[in-house]
Chain A
Amino acid sequence: MSVRPAEGSEAGAPTAPASSRPPPVRRDLSRRVLGGVCAGIGRRLGIDPIVLRVGFVAAAVSGGVGILLYAIAWAFVPAEGAQRSAAARIRGRRESWQAAAGTGLLVLSALLVFRELGIWFSDALVWPVVVAAAGAALIWRQSTSATGGGPAAAAPAGRTSALATPGSRTEPPGASPAGAGGGSAAEAAAPTPPRVITGLPLRGGPALSRAGLGVALVLGAGLFFLQANGALGALRDVLLAVVVVLIAVGLILAPWWWRLVRNLTEERTERIRSQERAEMAAHLHDSVLQTLALVQRRAEDPREVAGLARRQERELRAWLTGRSEPEARRSVSTALEGVAAEVEETHGIPIDVVSVGDAPVDDDALTVIAAAREALVNAARFAGEHGPVSLYAEVDDERLHVFVRDRGPGFDPSAIPTDRRGVRESIIGRMQRRGGRATVHAAPGGGGTEVELVMERER
């Protein structure tokens, strides 16, 4: 095998575009009166902090809400130059509940003193606001601790779950560049059994209970506010009517809904089963059937036949036990070179490999590599004696693009018998199941064959 690095193919790290997002709010301690909250918010919004200070004082005088809001802002907005806010620093400690309870009691005592002094708006307003603020703080804390930039960041990438959920993807068992006579290369790239990869982070019970408590507090505060202001009676009538209508509609639609859910479940199960069956058939075709064909062609050489059988046995055992070897899966170009070397060794034909760009091997890349391997095997079997086979790969952030060309007699793809699975299942079907595309450009009569594989990458 000859590998030629393409010009201008340095896999330089792409430079990220400069972020145009405005800077986050920070407490401005250089122009502070108390904690720098108003100065920081004013600088961020481009308004005079005096306006904000007047607003906070007015809210503080009319019931003490301004004090609560200021305290919350002080706790959750980090100061200039600080990495984390006071609340974030407290959260990281095991005794954070003490600090939270202490802060809550201090705020409660301040509110009670204001109430006793008569600087009070109304029980019907202040207490619901306090309870709702506590609930919102709980929800906010849960959302910020779970995201860290986005909900997906709550769980490490590639986190797996044994439970298949809608929207999850099943990695095909044969999506690996292993195959017949793989030897060490086949073992290194041994496919793994089917596994389900979900995009949903697995959340813990305490996090959910915190968020649930926050929601309950906010809803309870709303109901308390409505009750205290005498508006709950009208709302109760409306809610009662809505609930009655919903129950009636639910009773009417329940049989259809139940049947729909059952049908969808059965359809999904059948779809997963057929996909796994197709992937298993593709893998068997790529490995066992190819090896059996080679054994028939080389039956006169017992040593080579025994070697083929041993390699196939090792590959099958690795596949059945789910053993994965990441060595050949480090990068797409390395895996493609390994596959080409394996086919070159097994079939004894030269393969030229040119790759432009590189990327880590993910599930999409595994599918492309497996399809490319099958295309190389086909080219070696049917066009190997007509000259070298070439493999050209372009890898970038948006797509994987692989071409396998031979100089053989060519063929008509539409004339392939239905019982032959090589092109139809191991290449085209495999790519389509993963959301990719495989096209066979063949020119019957000596024009050679080109198999084009395209897989758009998830960004």
Chain B
Amino acid sequence: MSGARSFDTVSLVAGMVVIALGGLLLLDRLEVIDIGFGYLFPLLTAATGAILLAGGLAARPGR
């Protein structure tokens, strides 16, 4: 029986970001909300930024 399983913070953040993006795009497809390029581009930028930031903060010195 192994102990508590460790998880990768970057993968976790990336997965959550992709799920959030997918949810927003689904709502757009269902015409609940309207996401034009003016909003989609900042969303993609923010998603990339969040993943990069998580990777930078999760990295351990000397890795």
Distance between Cα atoms of A360 and B52 in the complex (Å): 51
Distance between Cα atoms of A110 and B39 in the complex (Å): 10
Distance between Cα atoms of A94 and B61 in the complex (Å): 7
Contact B57 A106 (CB under 8 A): no
Known contacts A94-B59, A94-B61; A113/B53 CB under 8 A = no
The answer to whether B25 has its CB under 8 Å from any CB of chain A is: no
Contact B49 A97 (CB under 8 A): no
Known contacts A102-B50, A102-B51, A106-B50; A112/B56 CB under 8 A = no
The answer to whether B43 has its CB under 8 Å from any CB of chain A is: yes
The answer to whether A8 has its CB under 8 Å from any CB of chain B is: no
Distance between Cα atoms of A116 and B53 in the complex (Å): 24
The answer to whether A104 has its CB under 8 Å from any CB of chain B is: yes
Q: Which of B39, B41, B43, B55 contacts A98 (CB 8 A)?
A: B55
Contact B49 A103 (CB under 8 A): yes
- Where chain B touches its partner, the secondary structure class is helix
Q: Which of B48, B59, B60 contacts A105 (CB 8 A)?
A: B48
Measured CB to CB, the closest approach of chain B to A21, in angstroms, equals: 31
Known contacts A92-B61, A94-B61, A112-B45; A106/B39 CB under 8 A = no
- Give the bracket for the number of chain B residues in contact with chain A: 20 to 34
Q: Which of A90, A92, A102 contacts B49 (CB 8 A)?
A: A102
Residue ID in chain B nearest A99 by CB atoms: B56
The answer to whether B3 has its CB under 8 Å from any CB of chain A is: no
Residue ID in chain A nearest B54 by CB atoms: A102
The answer to whether B46 has its CB under 8 Å from any CB of chain A is: yes
Residues of B within 8 A of A110 (CB): 42, 46
Contact A109 B53 (CB under 8 A): no
From 7 to 58 in chain B, residues with beta carbon under 8 angstroms from any chain A beta carbon are 38-39, 41-43, 45-46, 48-57
By CB atoms of chain A within 10 A, which of B45, B55, B62, B63 has the most?
Answer: B45
Contact B61 A99 (CB under 8 A): no
Q: Which of A98, A106, A112 contacts B59 (CB 8 A)?
A: A98
Known contacts A102-B51, A104-B49; A112/B42 CB under 8 A = yes
Residue ID in chain B nearest A107 by CB atoms: B49
Distance between Cα atoms of A313 and B54 in the complex (Å): 67
Q: Which of A98, A113, A116 contacts B56 (CB 8 A)?
A: A98
Residue ID in chain A nearest B61 by CB atoms: A93
Contact B42 A102 (CB under 8 A): no
Contact B53 A106 (CB under 8 A): yes
Contact A99 B39 (CB under 8 A): no
The answer to whether A96 has its CB under 8 Å from any CB of chain B is: yes
The answer to whether A458 has its CB under 8 Å from any CB of chain B is: no
Residues of B within 8 A of A92 (CB): 61
Distance between Cα atoms of A93 and B62 in the complex (Å): 8
The answer to whether A51 has its CB under 8 Å from any CB of chain B is: no
Contact A101 B61 (CB under 8 A): no
Contact A116 B52 (CB under 8 A): no
Known contacts A94-B59, A113-B39; A101/B45 CB under 8 A = no
26 residue pairs from A and B, CB less than 8 Å apart: A90-B56, A93-B59, A93-B60, A94-B61, A95-B63, A98-B52, A101-B52, A102-B51, A102-B55, A102-B56, A103-B53, A105-B45, A105-B49, A105-B52, A106-B45, A106-B53, A107-B49, A108-B42, A108-B45, A108-B49, A109-B45, A109-B46, A110-B46, A113-B42, A116-B38, A116-B42
Nearest 4 A-B pairs (CB), nearest first?
A99-B56, A105-B49, A102-B53, A102-B52
Residues on B lying within 8 angstroms of A by beta carbon are 38-39, 41-43, 45-46, 48-57, 59-63
